[in-house]
Structure 1
Amino acid sequence: MTTIALKTFTAWKTFVFAFLCLFTFQAYASAEPNINKEGIALSGYDPVSYFMDAPMKGYPALKYTFEGSTYQFENEENRQAFIQQPTKYAPAYGGWCAWAMLDGEKVKIDPLSYKIIDGKNYVFYNGFWGDTKEKWNEKANKDSEALLVKNADIQWSKL
């Protein structure tokens, strides 16, 4: 691919991504959680398992609803831990992409792209348009990660 073609493709990709982000933001312009058609958060992954070795799929029979999101759990012990401390285990920003939240946008996530920061689970988009967790980490190296969280928190509070 020539340099001009690569720059054109990159510019086109950026334009389409911005358009989709704008559409997503307008479609979800309230503080509703990121859930599927069945009301399930994190694509069915157990929110407590993120704080252990790795995210694990939960079972539909083991569920609990908190702030409009139904979470599924790998085992009863995790379900009970969540019931006792839901704000500890529920993902930041209603389960929307932390990187996109810096701009006040709601973007769907890849439930396996996440980062625990100061005891809170931040989830990220990872797909055709790139891995936003990598972008977050790059910006965190330049700026303070606490500042990124603070800015995303401000945007979330506006929604």
Structure 2
Amino acid sequence: MRSLALSLVLLMPFSIFAQAPVSTSYWSNTAIGGHDTTAYYQSELERPARLVEGNKHFSVQWNGADWHFASQASADKFAMNPSLYVPSYNGFCANALSLGEGKIRTDGSVWEFFDDTLYLFYAERGRQRWLNGDWHQYKAQADNAWQAIVSE
């Protein structure tokens, strides 16, 4: 019986076990440039004028990446429900995906909310394209590209 179960596991496609990739730095496994992803979700009045840097001492391992936070409270908030705080496309550039350019890493410094959803961009130019263009269409294109990446 045990060998049958092992055989079935070995026959399953590897994609079942694969996780969607996360935008990490080239030199480490740190997600979105080490920024505290929970801080983006503070209200406009509470949100600081600058990005909130995470601290490696307040780190959560999720989806194969290290997510850093400014405090233990932020790390705990993320750990309770990461899906509430992870940026769309796990932090890869939304604009690049919408243009068919694939997974372009971001550092979390260029971002925007569309319909209460966080999107990260490689550069301000991509963010401006979404702000000044048809972001609904761009989102649909990025969603299709991301689905193709995740299902590989």
- Corresponding residue for 2:120? 123
**Percent of aligned pairs with the same amino acid:** 24
| Kept after mapping to 2: 8 A contact 1:125/1:132 | yes
Shift of 1:73: 0.3
Alpha-carbon distance between aligned partners in 2 of 1:79 and 1:87, rounded to the nearest angstrom: 13
- Corresponding residue for 2:87? 91
Higher RCO (Cα < 8 Å, 6 or more apart)? 2
Residue correspondence of structure 1 range 1-159 to structure 2 within 5 A: 31-36=20-25, 37-52=27-42, 53-54=47-48, 55-104=51-100, 105-126=102-123, 131-139=125-133, 143=134, 145-159=135-149
| Kept after mapping to 1: 8 A contact 2:33/2:106 | no
Deviations 1:67-99 (A, max 9, x none): 112110001111111111201111111211100
Shift of 1:110: 4.3
Q: CA RMSD in A?
A: 1.9
Gap regions ≥5 residues in structure 1: 1-29
Comparing 86-95 with 103-112, which one deviates more in the overlay?
103-112
| Kept after mapping to 2: 8 A contact 1:88/1:119 | no
Secondary structure at the aligned position of 1:131 is classed as helix
| Kept after mapping to 1: 8 A contact 2:78/2:85 | yes
Alpha-carbon distance between aligned partners in 1 of 2:99 and 2:34, rounded to the nearest angstrom: 26
Divergent runs of 4+, >4 A = none
Gap regions ≥5 residues in structure 2: 1-18
Amino acid at match of 2:132: E
Alpha-carbon distance between aligned partners in 1 of 2:67 and 2:31, rounded to the nearest angstrom: 6
